[in-house]
Amino acid sequence: MRLSVPPFMRTLRGRVLLACAVIQLVVLALVMSNTSRLWHDTVRQALGVRINALSQLFDATLEPALARNPADAVRVLDSLQSVDGINYMVLTRADGTPVAARGWPAGKPLPKADTLSAGHPVGTEVHAIARIGSDDAPLGELHYGVSTLPWYSSIGALSVQNAFILAIGLLSTLTLVTWLIRWLTRALNRLIDGAADPYHFVPLPVPGDSAELALLTRRFNDMGEAVRGRFQELADARQRGEAHLALAETERARLTALLAAMRFGVLFVDNDNRVVFHNPAFCALWGITEAEQTGQPADEVLLRATNRPIDLLAHHRFDMPSDHLRVDFGELTMNDGRILTQQCYRVAERDGSISGRMWLYEDVTQARQLAERMVNLAERDALTGLYNRHRFQEEIERMVIDAERRRGTTALLYFDLDEFKYVNDTFGHASGDELLKCIAREVGTQVRRHELLARLGGDEFAILLPDCTVFEVGKLADRLVSRIAQLQFSTDGHVLRPSTSIGVALYPQHANNAAELVAHADAAMYQAKAAGKSTWRMYRAESDTSRIALTRLSWKERIINALETDGFELHFQGIYRTTDRELVHLEALVRMKDASGALIMPGSFIPHAEKTGKIVDIDRWVIKRTIELLAARPNMPSIAINVSGRSFDEPELPDFIGRLLRLHCVEPTRLLVELTETAAVSDIGEAQRFIDALRATGCTVCLDDFGNGFASFAYLKQLKADILKIDGLFIRDLPNDADSQVFVRGMVSMARDLGKTTIAEFVENETIYRMLLDMGVDLVQGYYLDLPNREHPGLLRGLERRRENDDVPQSD
């Protein structure tokens, strides 16, 4: 059966019109399909970003509440219902047990989370799950549904508009093509009509035919150009669409950051530090009115805030390092007492350029208060509020290490209440507790800020005093015994007068470590009780009969073994010219090594060496090693050595020094001998003979710890020392001690008038150094300039100079 062809299709005009209509319809379908695909992909991406931002928001918001109390999490969930586009929310624990549901029928199974991958259909609602807590410690999940109706409404409206525009274009194109075909085929129709009647055939003129063909060609060319122009417009429109999409990406990034931190204060600034955006939380935290601040300099906005740090410019940074995308600037303490954290993020565009910064402020006042309460619970005694044994142990370890580093002193007062058991047994533990609190309050009034008072348990208390003298410790112990004895404690109609026995021990005079310091302070307390109670005693090793013999024998053997097996070594610290910080000479400091190779500081073994008489052998070992080192490195700086007071009883020691200098061909002025001022003044006659003998060898004599006893001023003419080393007691707190400043100026002035050089030790910061420079001190020494070191750079410099001299050819 043959299909009938409509008459319209049999004509050229009909076929051309039909072809044009088909092509236009195909183009219309492709444009509509491609537009729909692009917008669906955009919707999926936007939904993915929104779900990710919402999940981060829900995690950050619900995690603290769910960790504290599920009821808090329910209240937070109610506050989150205001988020636009959320159809339902269901909060479950980590084991899947529901906590609360909003917008979801009870008992209905929860759907799985949708996958927003390419090609995956998106319905009118997208199901998502937000994990609450970290992967290591999950707290639960939040199931929620996000409505897609706004996106689909936008797509539908856009599709209708595009279809309407394309339909108008199709009708316009078909009308134009119909007119063109009719106009172009008019001559052909005349030819056909003429050819139909051969008798009445009127041929067209040839020139006319050529003009029509030329015109037809031009029209087709014009139509082709129009088509190409249309496609170019479509291409330009697509590029403009990509530009708009990039702009949308930037806005989406800002929206994401805002949603992720919506409970924080948010401030956007541009590259010129002008405000681009701020949220209400920012205004509330800083006390800024809700008036529009956009376009104003951010620093001026913050400086006008009513709630800000007292010194804003010192605590707030208005810029950030150029190589950081995120910087945490720490915490701000506002003038209303709140604590804010401040973080800064760079806002990067799609092309990598930076368009500004985003500041985030979070109120962490409650978190800091909670942390402080937790610290107090861990470090404080619940009854008295004093530090507990745990904190005491940490502090005593720290203070002992600090005292060793600074060559200072740490004291421990260890005391309890006499006959406290009688109070508990007679009046009950409640009365005993009240007495302990009363004692804690009274003792607390006698303790200074840098000292530590702790309750170790029961009626035992302890006080740690850093950087103190024996006199200061004794005065404090006297005050405590007196004040506690004056208390009148009333309980059950009875008036009790408590008393205390205090034991005192000092590091390093009485102990080598923290544990030994506690043990000796405890022993001293029992010595005070044995003396009649209501008194105090300083630890006396000779009274601790169980330790005396063993300790002396042990240290004596260790020192002898170290002398025989090279168990000592020298470390060196530089002494520098004050005016230009040039190294002038070195000081040799002896260290002892234990069996494991660890170093033992002088404060631990020198007192035992002096008691056992081995200090002279140590002095001779130091002298011998130093002179050998000076001989081996003739170009290195001179070296100062310390000689103990016991060596004054060794008249052969200066001759020993002289023989070694001559044996090793060392210039005597390169060796400086330091003598302790207190030892010299204690026996001025022996000290004068000893110094004269040393000066006869050509060595330089230095009086160490000068000023410790001011009686020595009267003996300077007799002692004839070349250098005075000012005692560190006057230097370590020089900026804050007006009396020490007066004494140091007086010593420097007197030394200058007598033609003597002055050295200041314990220089530990720039402020002390500058003050000593202004006072006219000649040389300085301390941890601020360098630390004692076995391989001091001054030694290496001397070695390098010697090698350079060895490389120079010698002439015949």
CB of 378 closer than 8 Å to CB of 496: no
pLDDT at 402 over 50: yes
The pLDDT value recorded for residue 258 is 57
**Exposure of 769 by Cβ count < 10 A (0-12 exposed, 13-18 middle, 19+ buried)?**
buried
Out of 104-118, 134-148, 366-380, 408-422, the most confident range is 408-422
Helices (DSSP H) in 613-729: which residue ranges? 615-632, 652-663, 677-682, 684-696, 716-719
* pLDDT at 601 exceeding the cut of 80: yes
Residue 108 tokens, joined:
């209905």
Q: Is the CB of residue 587 less than 8 Å from the CB of residue 573?
A: yes
* Integer angstrom CA distances of residue 194 from 190, 207, 632, 644: 6, 18, 131, 143
Kindly report the number of other CB atoms within 10 A of residue 400's CB atom. Answer: 23
| Residue 113 DSSP symbol | P
Fold of the CATH domain 261-369: Beta-Lactamase (3.30.450)
pLDDT at 531 over 90: no
**At a CB cut-off of 8 Å and minimum separation 6, what does 342 contact?**
316, 328, 329, 330, 331, 332, 359, 360, 361
Count the residues in the chain. Answer: 812
For the stretch 92-143, pLDDT in tens is: 887 878 888 888 887 788 888 877 776 666 777 888 888 888 777 788 888 8
Instruction: Report d(CA 801, CA 812) in Å as an integer.
Output: 22
Task: Judge whether 380-543 and 572-805 match in fold.
Answer: no
Who wins on pLDDT, 745 or 74? 745
Alpha carbon of residue 41 to chain centroid: 44
Amino acid 458: pLDDT? 86
Instruction: Return the pLDDT at 59.
Output: 80
- Of 206-220, 249-263, 474-488, the one with minimum mean pLDDT is 206-220
pLDDT recorded at residue 626: 94
* pLDDT attached to residue 312: 73
pLDDT at site 800: 52
Q: pLDDT tier at 556 (50, 70, 90 boundaries)?
A: confident
How far, rounded to the nearest angstrom, does the alpha carbon of residue 149 sit from its chain's CA centroid? 47
Range scoring the smallest mean pLDDT among 51-60, 183-192, 476-485, 729-738? 183-192
CATH topology for the 380-543 domain: Alpha-Beta Plaits (3.30.70)
* Residue 186 confidence class, pLDDT cut points 50, 70, 90: low
Q: Which CATH number fits domain 572-805: 3.20.20.450, 3.40.50.2300, 3.40.47.10, 3.90.1640.20?
A: 3.20.20.450
Continuous H helices in 697-791: 716-719, 738-753, 766-775
Burial class (CB in 10 A: 0-12, 13-18, 19+), 489: middle
C-alpha to C-alpha distance for 378 and 372, rounded to whole angstroms: 10
Q: Match 């001690």 to its residue by tokens.
A: 737
117 vs 265 pLDDT, higher one? 265
Tell me the sheet residues that pair with 779.
577, 759
Looking at residue 200, what is its pLDDT?
Answer: 42
Assess whether pLDDT exceeds 90 at residue 767. Answer: yes
For residue 484, the model assigns a pLDDT of 93
Return the pLDDT at 577: 95
Q: Residue 780, Cα to own-chain centre: how many angstroms?
A: 33
What is the C-alpha separation between 93 and 701, in angstroms, rounded? Answer: 80
**Residue 31 to residue 34: CA distance in whole angstroms:** 5
- Nearest CA to 589 out of 731, 730, 295, 787 is that of 787
Integer Cα distance of 395 and 631 in angstroms? 46
What angle do the packed helices 470-486 and 429-444 form, to 10 degrees? 140
The Cα–Cα gap between 678 and 709 comes to 7
* Higher-confidence position of 281 and 611: 281
Q: What is the mean pLDDT of residues 683-701?
A: 82
Q: Predicted confidence band at 207 (pLDDT cuts at 50, 70, 90)?
A: very low
Instruction: Report d(CA 741, CA 718) in Å as an integer.
Output: 26
* Structure token pair of residue 114: 């949708």
SS3 242: helix
Look up residue 133 and give its two tokens.
Answer: 């807590």
Question: What's the distance, CA 730 to chain centroid?
Answer: 35
Instruction: List the single range of 636-645, 654-663, 797-806 with lowest mean pLDDT.
Output: 797-806
Question: Which helix (H) or strand (E) is 59 found in, with range?
Answer: helix 12-68
User: Which of 531, 532, 520 shows the shortest CA–CA distance to 412?
Assistant: 520
What integer pLDDT is reported at residue 165 of this predicted model? 80
Mean pLDDT of 46-51: 80
What is the pLDDT confidence band of residue 671, given thresholds at 50, 70 and 90? very high
pLDDT score of 663: 93
118 vs 603: CA distance, rounded Å: 76
Distance CA 617, CA 609 (A): 9
Distance CA(464)–CA(393), nearest Å, equals 11
pLDDT band at 322 (very low <50, low <70, confident <90, very high): low
Mean pLDDT calculated for residue range 60-68: 80
Q: Minimum mean pLDDT among 269-278, 374-383, 458-467: which range?
A: 374-383
Q: How confident is the model at residue 714 (pLDDT cuts 50, 70, 90)?
A: low
> The tokens of 516 are what?
């030994």
pLDDT of residue 410: 93
Widest pairwise Cα distance in the chain: 163
One-letter amino acid of 165: I
Percentage of the chain exceeding pLDDT 70: 82
Average pLDDT, the chain: 80
Element (H, E) at 144: strand 138-147
> Using CA atoms, how far apart are residues 559 and 588, in angstroms rounded to an integer?
19
Pairing of strands 779-780, 757-760: parallel
**Beta strand segments in 717-776, E:** 723-726, 757-760
**Bigger pLDDT: 529 or 575?**
575
User: How many other C-beta atoms lie within 10 A of the C-beta of residue 471?
Assistant: 8
Q: Which residues contact 575 (CB under 8 A, 6 or more apart)?
A: 583, 584, 585, 586, 587, 640, 759, 779, 780, 781
Tens digit of pLDDT for each residue in 461-496?
999 999 888 899 999 999 999 999 999 999 888 888
At residue 576, φ and ψ (nearest 5 deg) are: -120, 150
DSSP string, 360-387: EEEE-HHHHHHHHHHHHHHHB-TTT-SB
Domain boundaries, the chain: 261-369, 380-543, 572-805
Q: Is residue 666 over pLDDT 70?
A: yes
